[in-house]
Amino acid sequence: MPALLFDLDGTMLNSDPIHEAVFTELWTARGLPVPEGFYMEQVHGRLNVDVFADYLPDDPDPQALSKWKEAQFRDRLPAPYPETPGLTAFLDHAQAQGWKMAVVTNAMRLNAEAMLGAIGLRDRFEVIVIGEECAHGKPHPLPYLTAMEALRETAATCIAFEDSPSGMRAAAASGAYSIGIRSALDDATLRAAGAHMTIRDFTDPALPAILARIEGVAA
């Protein structure tokens, strides 16, 4: 039967506006240009240290800068925070079917715990794979492969939900059936990054048919 692998930011909740506000302040303070769409083009779905290596290569301590940025994010994350529409009902259905589930995110662990807590879903997941705790984060497939190993599943039984090009490339490269969430990007962009299908959110009428087809294959 299918196992479900969820990205967090932009997939389970739309926290990108908070991240974008912090990055805008950070870029402005360092004299970097902040053109329209810079967050989606330069930052979205990537590890902070990789972003800083590209745009702040002279920073003496990118890890400390990353910790500061994420502390700013947590300070601004209200709780409770709205989940992606339909998420809880979808998780209820998955649990009733006995499907395994994991979170696979490039967010640092403190942030992942804060976000899951803010949407009231921390107790739903025993397996939470953090990109920066792996040898490689997304867009490398290792975080997804790590989740598969933890769930004792293979790519043939796994469905990944992602919203960013970086995450989608990681999910597709892992071999999982990859579904794009159109929270910030359109169908064409997500498919170009490797999505097999895309949905608006977890209330999308296309989702049950997708799962039924996959469940039949996985069975």
Catalytic residues: 7, 9
Which amino acid appears at position 8 of this protein?
A: L
Contacts of 171 (CB under 8 A, 6+ apart): 5, 7, 104, 141, 144, 160, 162, 178, 194
Report how far Cα 157 is from the mean position of its chain's Cα atoms.
19
| Closest C-alpha among 16, 7, 6 to residue 41 | 16
Q: Which CA distances in Å does 87 have to 41, 125, 155, 187?
A: 26, 13, 23, 20
Burial of 159 from C-beta contacts in 10 A (0-12 / 13-18 / 19+): buried
